[in-house]
Amino acid sequence: MSGVSAAELALPRPRVLRRAMAWIGPDFGMVAGFTAALAVLVTAYGGSYKWKEGPIVISAGIATVLVVVRTAWSAPAIVRNQPGARYELRRAVVSILRDWGPVILIMWLFQSLETYTGVVRKTSIDEHLFHADQWLFGVEPTVWL
């Protein structure tokens, strides 16, 4: 190898990294950041993750139903061994999971982070937020809506 160091070979190519970051997108990027925050809280305060809460089950259930319906819709073409049918199903399932993944994960994060609301901050800021709403909007926006 002419003039290329081992360190330069170990680095991922910017094009590959850029494509990976583009596929991950801001939604999964934010989820990764919040997951890291949750992991720190669980480690620091000795908590646990929640799995069976309503919003988590509902969003995961919707994604599952979408995958099952899409699979059933593609089944005749797969049984007939149509060219590209399996590829199309795989592409559709990945697309469904890519679209619904952040929703499911955000629901999981929200439900798991809810445990730490009173642990991390002992005092409530609700009154301050109420007064800020009154000052900014002249009304309480949630009640007004």
Start-to-end Cα distance in the chain: 67
Confidence grade of residue 87 (pLDDT, cut at 50, 70, 90): very high
Confidence grade of residue 13 (pLDDT, cut at 50, 70, 90): low
| Interior/surface letters 18-42, b for 16+ CB within 10 angstroms, e for the rest | eeeeeeeeeebeebeebeeebeebb
Mean pLDDT, the chain, whole residue set? 83
Q: Which two tokens stand for residue 78?
A: 């797969």
Measured CA to CA, the distance from residue 140 to residue 145 in angstroms comes to 9
Let me know: does 22 contact 73? Beta carbons within 8 Å: no
Q: Which of 53, 57, 65 is nearest to 96 (CA)?
A: 65
Q: Which amino acid makes up residue 18?
A: R
Q: Which of 3-7, 78-82, 124-128 has the lowest mean pLDDT?
A: 3-7
- Does pLDDT of 58 surpass 60? yes
- State the average pLDDT over residues 67-81: 93
